[in-house]
Amino acid sequence: MIFEALHYLATLPVTGKANRRFIRYSINLWSRARRCSLAWAEHVENSRTAILSAMDGLRETRTVVVLGSGLLCDVPIKELSKSFDTVVLVDLVHIASVRLWLKTKGYRNVRLIERDLSGYDDLAAGKEVEPLRFLRSVPYLDFAVSANLLSQIGRGVKRRYEAEEPGRMPDDTVARLIDAHLSDLAALPCRTCLLTDISYAVVDRCGKTHEENDLLNGVLPPAANASWSWPVAPIGEESADYQIVHKVIAAY
């Protein structure tokens, strides 16, 4: 807990005021990733492999944008930095340890952007919802990755929606913003790679499934090139008797 608190304090001054309330979620994810590194290893490797497969054969490699870059554990940052002139990492928060690691490794062509990718504020203001429209102004964009972000958008939007006064936001807010992300990604004039968990199951020690749920709020994802299971909370993380397993797809 002390290490997490220090990490929070180190991240606070390098994070914009509007996004500081999200730091604790990023630190919690960082802590879980450390605890569950063995259980997550296959998911991490599959994610990296999918991104590398998606970029294979690109004729030009000028700029790549990674949406939801997070802890970078599921992003092949070394290969991206070597292959592209510019690597742009976009997320609500870039925690201090990630910033320090990038600096230590000397990734001079990597740029960090803090941004809310949900589109929630535009929808609340009655504006057209195009959460990825800012990518149109990125020079020489040749590749864009949505890295295990979409279900996180869904959960974050759901929390905000449920905290609103009734009637302030459309009933289909969560589904609409998930669909907007998929539509904007598909409309980009460059090659793309979507990594996302689409559902979860609560499974006991005997392999029996006790609960299943959709993570995309009924929105259909594109056809997958690959899929796998990700034990987000292995046995012992949240329960001694159950694990929470997400189904992940890669589409490119």
Q: Residue 2: its pLDDT value, please?
A: 81
Output the six-digit token pair for 179.
Answer: 């669909």
Residues of the chain with pLDDT under 50: none
Three-state secondary-structure class, residue 13: helix
Closest Cα to residue 179, out of 196, 159, 161? 196
Q: Residue 3: its pLDDT value, please?
A: 82
Q: Residue 121: its pLDDT value, please?
A: 95
Q: Residue 1: its pLDDT value, please?
A: 76
Length of the chain equals: 252
Q: What is the CATH number of the domain that holds 29?
A: 3.40.50
| Residue at 129 is within a domain | no
Q: Indicate the number of domains in the chain.
A: 1
| Residue at 61 is within a domain | yes
pLDDT single digits (tens) 169-219: 999 999 999 999 999 999 999 999 999 999 999 999 999 999 999 999 999
Give me the torsion for CA of 30, 239, 159, 20, rounded to 10°: -20
| Residue at 128 is within a domain | no
- 18: containing domain: 2-116+141-151+191-251
Q: Beta-carbon neighbour count of residue 101 at 10 Å?
A: 14
Q: Residue 220: its pLDDT value, please?
A: 97
Output the six-digit token pair for 149.
Answer: 């972000």
